[in-house]
Amino acid sequence: MGIEAEPVKTTCPYCGVGCGVIASMDAVGNVSVRGDPDHPANFGRLCSKGSSLGETVGLEGRLLHPEIDGRRASWDEALNLVAGTFRQTIAEHGPDAVAFYVSGQMLTEDYYVANKLMKGFIGSANIDTNSRLCMASSVAGHRRAFGGDVVPGNYEDLELADLIVLVGSNLAWCHPVLFQRIAAAKATRPEMKVVLIDPRRTMSAELADLHLAVKADGDVALFNALLAWLADHGQLDSSYVERHTTGLAEAVAAARALPPSRLAEIAGLSPQEIERFCRLFADTPRVVTIYSQGVNQSESGTDKVNAIINCHLATGRIGKPGCGPFSVTGQPNAMGGREVGGLSNMLAAHMEIESAKDRDTVRRFWNAPRIAEKAGLKAVDLFRAVGEGRIKALWIMATNPVASMPDADAVKAALAACPFVVVSDISAETDTMALAKVKLPATGWGEKDGTVTNSERRISRQRSFLPLVGDMRPDWWIVSEVARRMGFADAFPYEAPAEIFAEYAALTGFENHGRRALDIGAYAGLDEAGYETLPPFQWPRPAQGSPDPARFFGAGGFFTPDGKGCFVPTPVSKPATVGEGAFVLNTGRIRDQWHTMTRTGKSPRLSAHMAEPFAEVNPADAASLGIADADIVEVANGRGKILVRALLSERQQRGAIFVPMHWTDEFAAAARVDVLVAPVTDPVSGQPALKASRADLRRFAAARYGFAVSRTKPAAIGADYWARAACDGGWRIEFAFAEAPADPVAAARTLVGAHETTEMLAYQDNERGDCRLAFFDGGKLVGAFFLSGAPVAVSRSWAVAQLQSPHDSPRDRFRVAAGRGGADKPDAGATVCACFSVGVNQIVAAVAKDGCRDVDAIGRLLKAGTNCGSCRSEIKGLVDAHYVVAAE
Ligand code: SF4
């Protein structure tokens, strides 16, 4: 028995809200987390993902030692090989023959040294980040309008606003704590209005007073219509425009280039809907427009950003309490990566690679032998260059591009053909790790020390509270070691992240003189002790002077050469859906998973919310294709195909489908949706259009459907369709066969890992194709296997519970084989509230039988929605849907 550790204040490693977390470890090593009540991002709140962090820090599945060609290696051997191969490749083919592909999961200090090595010492700018997939269009839009990558406002503005416009942002699921902050503000000020602009009626619609179901990529047309309307109706802030901006006339002319009726048609909205939105915007002085991936991940992403910013500049709704355009980032440290030059077209500290003066400034500060002279390859082009053999040595850090990049199979083929692929990560088995020649074990959340920057420019410490196990090392250490072995020891002397942070802070202030917004020069002299206790703070924090770090541009002060904000004309381009197929394929996130599930996939609670990959389809479209709810469907186009579960929903527009981006080959047979996405990018930002590919949909003719629970991780799942998810006590597996398996018992034994000698109980109905098998080791269930000619109608929550229930009596054991709980054990249904494991059937019953009429009443009865609150939108949707039925 060990000693209980002191709680540690750190930061959640998932989304860009950047919530403060207090992590505790008990004497036997169990980790628990709670929200930090003092952190200004969340004031104690956490969403379901943050609340479940303790379930994701176990060592199962971790890479703990360096490997070369699949064999264990020492750090020395692995580092020498990486440094030597990079050095030799550069010597033979030049610096542009190597590349780094890094990640918004990395800490600022990790990012800083990787960028310094590539841009200042290797002399190439071929370092790009998976944040290119996330918010590059926002960066480009900010730079065009503001002269720098600056988010003007802060989270408090979301509570002070009288109108929140959500564009392409399912805030309820993707930034839940911000959504809860808005919901709480709206509850105290019901006059506050929320408009949702999204092709889908997402869970965020539960808070919306108006939902504008734009067509895919109809946003530029909509915001051009708004700008033209504001100009036509005398609603511009002439004083602000005149004193602080340039280019209004050109932007309005571009907006007026098409008549309002045509703009409405392109946006997919009625003129009345647009008029209502325009009046609401014009009549509300305090407006915050929040935008996210629905804006950024588009062929016209940068223009969308500028079309939004144009409306805020034109009305002076920027940089004042409760006002402003607000880009919310997907990743925990997308902002930090932007700050230190993680994007291939930026230098560190927001300096510009195109500027000879900036290049010289950075070169002198680093005393660098060769600074990159031009922008490097952006993510899509970078992997294309790998595929074409132009990049011969690639180092991927903390990301899984084989699952997350568009044209994902081409990326997979490119990595397979690349002469030298290094992957540093925490997970031993990812789709990308499988293709690495050299595998380097990195530290993960809990073991890492450094800083992250959230969406409101707030820098917070991530502090370690877990010991390093095996050979795992921080990313900054690994990169610095390689740099030293490449001959750059003097420039990479770091012993601790505090030293890197202080150097980075000094660079932000170096020859700045107010020229760049990003200035944290006040921390240039920070020592180890100061770094350890560093509280969350917003930039800027220059060494001299004390500008208000809360907001930018309320009184002008842009970072353009003339100090004025720029309107950018945003002509409406052609509809951007790409490729052939009957449906527009939209991709995105779900509430309880994160990226490619390498961490959230470990949590039974999180996996209980949506345990399978799915395609959300409008019921009318499904009917026309003969697709029923819970059928397996094939989504396909010329690039490939995937198999997922059909989820029929009126939330989905006709002619469009939504497929989540989380499932990889590790968790499903064929559900990497990005294999279907064309590598088409925004011409300014290089961000891929991940939300507007085209694909066809058809029912997969399954001869047999199956469901199983297994105490052990299923090793081989020989079904055409399968998806596995962690559950309490083991694994749950959904599957389907195109042809009935010849020997179901053999298939079941393989799936659940049962031996010939394991006790087996069987129930079979040959006419219906039903086969139900349960395997026992004494009173313990080893696994249960249910096969049927139709989707299996066994309660999932009941079956999962059997893994941890005693089965001492023959009657109990037979019940498992029969797939039936006792009458005293009703099916809770699919999990809605992950914190208290409350299912959909329980909530519907609470409405129908117990008279619950709102979310709070459900909370009082079942506790659902009373902890993290991430499920409150779903509960409200269920109450609204079933209250009418119950009342009839
Ligand atoms: Fe983490 Fe949730 Fe906060 Fe995002 S909203 S930082 S996922 S707790």
15 Cβ inside 6 Å of ligand 1: yes
**What is the mean predicted confidence (pLDDT) over 552-558?**
96
482 C-alpha to ligand 1 centroid (Å): 33
- Gyration radius from the chain CA atoms: 27
Please state the atom number of ligand 1 nearest to the C-alpha of residue 454: 6
**Exposed e or buried b for every residue in 436-467, given b needs 16+ CB within 10 A?**
bbbbbbbbbbbbbbbbbbbbbbbbbbbbbbbe
Please state the atom number of ligand 1 nearest to the C-alpha of residue 48: 2
Q: What pTM was computed for the model?
A: 0.94
- Provide the pLDDT for residue 83: 98
**What is the mean predicted confidence (pLDDT) over 354-375?**
96
Please state the atom number of ligand 1 nearest to the C-alpha of residue 870: 2
- Provide the pLDDT for residue 884: 57
- Provide the pLDDT for residue 406: 95
Question: Phi then psi for 458, rounded to 5 degrees?
Answer: -100, 120
Report the range out of 21-35, 439-453, 787-801 with the highest average pLDDT.
Answer: 439-453
More confident residue, 28 or 61: 61
478 Cβ inside 6 Å of ligand 1: no
**What is the mean predicted confidence (pLDDT) over 413-419?**
98
14 C-alpha to ligand 1 centroid (Å): 6
Please state the atom number of ligand 1 nearest to the C-alpha of residue 42: 3
Among residues 430, 595, 484, 479, the alpha carbon closest in space to that of 100 is found at 479
The 3 state secondary structure assigned to 275-317 is HHHHHHHHHCCCEEEEECHHHHCCCCHHHHHHHHHHHHHHCCC
Q: Nearest 5 degrees, angle CA 448-CA 453-CA 458?
A: 125
385 C-alpha to ligand 1 centroid (Å): 35
**Do the strands 770-777 and 780-788 form a parallel or antiparallel pair, or are they unpaired?**
antiparallel
CA distance 111 to 293: 22
Measured between alpha carbons, how far is residue 22 from residues 8, 12, 45, 51 in Å?
5, 9, 11, 10
Measured between alpha carbons, how far is residue 734 from residues 173, 199, 773 in Å?
24, 30, 15
Look at ligand 1, atom 4, and give the residue with the nearest C-alpha.
Answer: 15
CA distance 236 to 499: 48
The token duo for 477 is: 């250490």
> Mean pLDDT across the chain, nearest whole number?
94
Q: Is 887 exposed, middle or buried (0-12, 13-18, 19+ CB in 10 A)?
A: exposed
158 C-alpha to ligand 1 centroid (Å): 16
Among 308-312, 334-338, 701-705, whose mean pLDDT is lowest? 334-338
91 C-alpha to ligand 1 centroid (Å): 44
21 Cβ inside 6 Å of ligand 1: no
155 Cβ inside 6 Å of ligand 1: no
Among residues 766, 764, 762, the alpha carbon closest in space to that of 784 is found at 762
Q: Per-residue pLDDT tens for 670-718?
A: 999 999 999 999 999 999 999 999 999 999 999 999 999 999 998 777 8
The pLDDT-based confidence of 575 (bands split at 50, 70, 90) is low
More confident residue, 621 or 29: 621
Q: Which helix (H) or strand (E) holds 364?
A: helix 356-366
Q: Per-residue pLDDT tens for 862-883?
A: 989 888 787 888 888 888 877 7
**What is the mean predicted confidence (pLDDT) over 638-642?**
95
- Provide the pLDDT for residue 886: 53
Residue 533, pLDDT > 70, answer yes
Measured from the Cβ of residue 533, the count of other Cβ atoms closer than 10 Å reads: 8
Choose one of 47, 105, 178, 835 to mutate for the ligand 1 pocket test, by most ligand atoms within 8 angstroms of C-beta: 47
429 C-alpha to ligand 1 centroid (Å): 25
337 Cβ inside 6 Å of ligand 1: no
177 Cβ inside 6 Å of ligand 1: yes
- Provide the pLDDT for residue 259: 97
Among residues 271, 280, 307, the alpha carbon closest in space to that of 210 is found at 280
Please state the atom number of ligand 1 nearest to the C-alpha of residue 18: 6
33 C-alpha to ligand 1 centroid (Å): 12
**What is the mean predicted confidence (pLDDT) over 419-433?**
96
Please state the atom number of ligand 1 nearest to the C-alpha of residue 14: 7
Please state the atom number of ligand 1 nearest to the C-alpha of residue 11: 6
Q: Per-residue pLDDT tens for 736-765?
A: 999 999 999 999 999 999 988 899 999 888
Among residues 834, 832, 835, the alpha carbon closest in space to that of 876 is found at 832
175 C-alpha to ligand 1 centroid (Å): 6
**Do the strands 831-833 and 780-788 form a parallel or antiparallel pair, or are they unpaired?**
unpaired
Residue 3, pLDDT > 70, answer no
Residue 5, pLDDT > 80, answer no
The pLDDT-based confidence of 323 (bands split at 50, 70, 90) is very high
569 Cβ inside 6 Å of ligand 1: no
243 C-alpha to ligand 1 centroid (Å): 39
Choose one of 19, 455, 609 to mutate for the ligand 1 pocket test, by most ligand atoms within 8 angstroms of C-beta: 19
CA distance 677 to 675: 6
Residue pair 449/463 in contact (Cβ under 8 Å)? The answer is yes
Residue type, 40: P
The pLDDT-based confidence of 75 (bands split at 50, 70, 90) is very high
User: DSSP characters for 498-534?
Assistant: HHHHHHHHHHHHTT-TTSSS---GGGTT--HHHHHTP
Residue pair 852/861 in contact (Cβ under 8 Å)? The answer is yes
Among residues 671, 609, 614, the alpha carbon closest in space to that of 647 is found at 614
Q: Per-residue pLDDT tens for 134-181?
A: 999 999 999 999 999 999 999 999 999 999 999 999 999 999 999 999
331 C-alpha to ligand 1 centroid (Å): 10
Q: Per-residue pLDDT tens for 211-242?
A: 999 999 999 999 999 999 999 999 999 999 99
18 Cβ inside 6 Å of ligand 1: yes
Q: How many residues does the chain have?
A: 888
- Provide the pLDDT for residue 576: 60
Task: Determine what percent of the chain is predicted with pLDDT higher than 90.
Answer: 81
- Provide the pLDDT for residue 548: 78
176 Cβ inside 6 Å of ligand 1: yes
14 Cβ inside 6 Å of ligand 1: yes
Please state the atom number of ligand 1 nearest to the C-alpha of residue 21: 8
- Provide the pLDDT for residue 783: 96
109 C-alpha to ligand 1 centroid (Å): 21
Contacts of 306 (CB under 8 A, 6+ apart): 141, 144, 145, 568, 570
**What is the mean predicted confidence (pLDDT) over 444-462?**
97
Please state the atom number of ligand 1 nearest to the C-alpha of residue 35: 8
The token duo for 641 is: 């195909």
25 C-alpha to ligand 1 centroid (Å): 20
Look at ligand 1, atom 3, and give the residue with the nearest C-alpha.
Answer: 19
**What is the mean predicted confidence (pLDDT) over 186-199?**
97
The token duo for 470 is: 């095996």
